[in-house]
Structure 1
Amino acid sequence: MADLFWPGDERAGLHFTSAAFLRAMVAVESDWVGRELEVPDALDEISAEAESGGNPVIPLVRHLREQGTDVHRGLTSQDVVDSALMRMAGAAVADLRRDLARVVGGLADLASAHRETPMVARTLTQHAVPTTFGFRVAAWLTAVLDADEDLARLAFPAQLGGAAGTRAAMVELGRAVPDDVPRWHTTRSAVTRVGDALAGTTDACARIANDVLVMSRPEIGELAEGSGGGSSTMPNKANPTLSVLVRRAALTSPQLAATLHLAAVQQVDDRADGGWHAEWATLRDLVRRTLVAASQTADLVAGLVVHAERMAATLAAAGDDVLAEQRSMAAAAGHAPAPSYLGDAAAYVDQVVARAHRHLEEKP
């Protein structure tokens, strides 16, 4: 889907488009009546008519009934919209996790390859102590693994509550609903959990992008994107474009997730007046932006160029200052400083890489 306001949006494919939303709502109605319904070729008309009733289900039902099927009896509009949103979210998260698997695999390989590559650690922007690039990558990998595990724990429940959650119409019609099908008209944790997991994913992607942006500065020069972007006026530039775009997503995702929580706070009575409506486009933007960011991060990791010689040179230029802590610790322990001051960095890299391999093996 072309979007000049969000370069790269096409990476999200057809997820959470208006057409996908229409198909998902028709699928919900199809399940309810027990037969496959034809998706009306009236997207623009349904969209224009949605304003009068405040949601797209009302005009959709009219179009579906024109097919000769008595759809929707016992349901309410929120049942259809919520169930459709969860269907779309489940499909999007499945694709998102496929991209994260690419990120995990790439980072595991990178961490193993640079397990012993020396560099200087930086804390509060300043040189700290010696570390390895593999250790830095293991930190990136840990964040991605944590985010993917949060995504794996998500549930995408259908919504079947009827007009006010009591299922009165369903009971009147003799439609039994299994006890394990929830009714969550005003309990929005299903939505906020999805939002939090998506924002956590962009957090993890930004953890990588932020370091690439800093470490690819010419005066540092320790990393570079494999295919940097150009400039409209300076042909000599190779900008870290993927990192910039991933960071962009991460800067906007928390506010979208916060809007979902604000909508949850605004729930009132037995169905909300506006809080529910605020979720739809918010969730759409959050899903699509996260999909784009994960895809871009996978490409970023796959093409990342590591300048190990520059890392070693920077560490050497830092001189004895980076070993000041070692000297004081050795003095406190009553022995001479050891030849290396890397602690258990290598063991940590091995541990995280092993976790990544288990994670990939267990993934469906």
Structure 2
Amino acid sequence: MNLRNIPNLLNFVLTVKLITVKYDSCDRWRTVIERYTLPEMGNLWTDAYKFKTWLQVEIAVCEAQAELGYIPPEAVAEIKAKANFDPQRILEIEAEVRHDVIAFLTNVNEYVGDAGRYIHLGMTSSDVLDTALALQMVASLDLILQRVGDLIEVIRAKAREHKNTIMIGRSHGIHAEPITFGFKLAGWLAEVLRGQKRLQALRETVAVGQISGAVGTYANIEPRVEALACQKLGLKPDVASTQVISRDIHAEYVQQLALLAASIERFAVEIRNLQKTDVLEVEEFFSKGQKGSSAMPHKRNPIRSERLTGMARMVRSYAVAAVENVALWHERDISHSSVERVMLPDACILTHFMLVEITDLIKNLLVYPENMARNMNCYGGVVFSQKVMLALIEKGLRREDAYAIVQQNAHAAWNQENGNFRELIRNDVRVQELLSPAELDACFDPQQHLSHLNEVYARLDI
């Protein structure tokens, strides 16, 4: 496509592979493809919503100015009654003036008339931009926290269901010792609960505004206006803004989203590993009529977990961009602006989608206890080697000697078609001299490994 042949760039639709970028009067350039944008979050990052928050900031400042006697109360009433904006018109003005806030103010004043002279008094563009951006970030975080709460309840319910579903625990990808699937989920739940606490603290951190004027010195607007306006908006004044709110706050915001995405990725990777054909202990729900492969009709692929893994990479990549934004020149530059126009909508929209996706995935996850039992008992219970070793030590055998006896029998069973560690160790005369058949059988009881798990469950209300 030759863009020079398109007479009106504001109305074109550019299609690249499967990604469609559209323009309309309420939604300027979409930064995340619609496939992964859920309306409740996507609506917070449209141009229409952004301009709405800009207007909220301007009106809050006007109200504060009036309360302090700087502008007539009747002017504020007129501003509130008449103020409006047209996203299309703002873009038309911006095409000429090359300044989005000036274009916005010009359009608002077209609606307000003479009272518009009281709008933006003593303010700088970043007073509007950064304070309004805080409103968007808080609103987005509230949605994310709501979805985190949903995920917590779904994991907790699934963990309760499988508190006693025995499976093998793995380290380095190799069979280790018995656990339960509920215990595995308990670890996920604890991680999400920690994330929830971090996000709740983050909400307070990012809920800051600034109405401090050029370079932040309050030369043309006093701090009392800032305090009143921020209070009306549900924000706190920044402690020491320059001409912008320092970007370490925004970097922390994106980093926390990246950390949450990393947790979701961990769960997704675990599901993918447990769904392997030769493991098949859990499986993503496969709906009627769903297809797994265009070539192989038998395939049931973990596509949702794979999707989440890929999305986590995207969110994580924005954490780097967010940190790069911290080092601005002097009291401000706008090198951060172009990054944030893509980074913040993308990070919020993707994290929100990931939460909804992983919640539904876990809620409908298929769990196969029979396969878990089969996998745990391969090679004749070799995973109970530590219990046998400890039993021999309790009978007075040196640890090194006990280890050598158990390892010899375990390795003899390992990767053998009919390998049976339990039979081999039972027939070892060195073991027979120290352990009775009943004592040896007790070593192979998986319940011994689960006796303290109720303490963990109680901590998490499972």
Q: Tell me the TM-score normalized by structure 2.
A: 0.69
Aligned to 1:116: 164
Aligned to 1:315: 376
How far is the alpha carbon of 1:230 from its aligned partner?
2.9
Give the unaligned 5+ runs of structure 2: 1-26, 64-75, 229-235, 397-438
How far is the alpha carbon of 1:270 from its aligned partner?
0.7
How far is the alpha carbon of 1:345 from its aligned partner?
5.3
Aligned to 1:23: 52
Contact 2:36/2:349 (8 A) holds in 1: no
What letter matches 2:131 in structure 1? Answer: S
Q: What is the correspondence of 1:151-166 to structure 2 with a 5 Å cutoff?
A: 151-154=199-202, 155=204, 156-166=207-217
Mapped to 1, the partners of 2:392 and 2:95 lie a distance apart of 74
Aligned to 2:274: 215
Q: How big is each residue's C-alpha offset from its partner over 1:24-69, in whole Å with a ceiling of 9 and x where there is no partner?
A: 112111211235364412x244346547776521211111122222
Q: How big is each residue's C-alpha offset from its partner over 1:140-162, in whole Å with a ceiling of 9 and x where there is no partner?
A: 11111111111111221112221
Aligned to 1:247: 309
Q: What is the correspondence of 1:151-230 to structure 2 with a 5 Å cutoff?
A: 151-154=199-202, 155=204, 156-171=207-222, 176-178=225-227, 181-182=237-238, 183-184=240-241, 185=244, 187-227=246-286, 230=291
Q: What is the correspondence of 1:235-274 to structure 2 with a 5 Å cutoff?
A: 235-264=297-326, 266-274=327-335
Q: In the superposition, relative to structure 1, how do residues 53 and 248 fare at CA in structure 2: closer, same or farther (>3 Å)?
A: farther
Mapped to 1, the partners of 2:324 and 2:215 lie a distance apart of 21
Aligned to 1:361: none
How far is the alpha carbon of 1:10 from its aligned partner?
2.7
**SS state at 1:230 partner:** coil
How far is the alpha carbon of 1:259 from its aligned partner?
0.7
Task: Give the superposed CA RMSD.
Answer: 2.7
Mapped to 2, the partners of 1:17 and 1:118 lie a distance apart of 48
Match of 1:128 among 170, 176, 179: 176
Q: In the superposition, relative to structure 1, how do residues 274 and 333 fare at CA in structure 2: closer, same or farther (>3 Å)?
A: farther
**SS state at 2:300 partner:** coil
Contact 1:100/1:148 (8 A) holds in 2: yes
Mapped to 1, the partners of 2:330 and 2:340 lie a distance apart of 17
Which stretch shows the higher mean deviation, 22-31 or 186-195?
186-195
How far is the alpha carbon of 1:193 from its aligned partner?
2.1
Q: In the superposition, relative to structure 1, how do residues 103 and 169 fare at CA in structure 2: closer, same or farther (>3 Å)?
A: same
Contact 1:130/1:315 (8 A) holds in 2: yes
Q: What is the correspondence of 1:282-361 to structure 2 with a 5 Å cutoff?
A: 282-334=343-395, 338=443, 339-340=445-446, 341-342=448-449, 346-354=453-461
What letter matches 2:237 in structure 1? Answer: V
**SS state at 1:258 partner:** helix
Contact 2:38/2:349 (8 A) holds in 1: no
Contact 2:272/2:306 (8 A) holds in 1: yes
Contact 1:142/1:352 (8 A) holds in 2: no
Contact 2:190/2:460 (8 A) holds in 1: no
How far is the alpha carbon of 1:218 from its aligned partner?
1.9
1:63 and 2:107 aligned: yes
Mapped to 1, the partners of 2:303 and 2:262 lie a distance apart of 18
How far is the alpha carbon of 1:6 from its aligned partner?
6.1
Mapped to 1, the partners of 2:54 and 2:129 lie a distance apart of 6
Contact 2:61/2:226 (8 A) holds in 1: no
Mapped to 1, the partners of 2:93 and 2:386 lie a distance apart of 69
Contact 2:158/2:363 (8 A) holds in 1: no
Contact 2:186/2:460 (8 A) holds in 1: yes
Mapped to 2, the partners of 1:327 and 1:193 lie a distance apart of 49
How far is the alpha carbon of 1:314 from its aligned partner?
0.7
Which stretch shows the higher mean deviation, 28-37 or 89-98?
28-37
Q: In the superposition, relative to structure 1, how do residues 324 and 276 fare at CA in structure 2: closer, same or farther (>3 Å)?
A: same
What letter matches 1:189 in structure 2? Answer: D
How far is the alpha carbon of 1:204 from its aligned partner?
1.8
**SS state at 1:129 partner:** strand
How far is the alpha carbon of 1:4 from its aligned partner?
8.2
How far is the alpha carbon of 1:277 from its aligned partner?
4.1
Mapped to 2, the partners of 1:176 and 1:258 lie a distance apart of 35
Q: Number of paired residues?
A: 351
Mapped to 2, the partners of 1:32 and 1:343 lie a distance apart of 61
Q: How big is each residue's C-alpha offset from its partner over 1:326-362, in whole Å with a ceiling of 9 and x where there is no partner?
A: 33344445586653442565235413432x7xxxxxx
1:14 and 2:43 aligned: yes
Contact 1:253/1:286 (8 A) holds in 2: yes
Mapped to 2, the partners of 1:163 and 1:305 lie a distance apart of 58
Match of 1:40 among 85, 91, 99: 85
Contact 1:116/1:346 (8 A) holds in 2: no
**SS state at 1:177 partner:** helix
Match of 2:143 among 79, 95, 100: 95
Contact 2:281/2:367 (8 A) holds in 1: yes
Contact 1:127/1:318 (8 A) holds in 2: no
Q: Tell me the TM-score normalized by structure 1.
A: 0.87
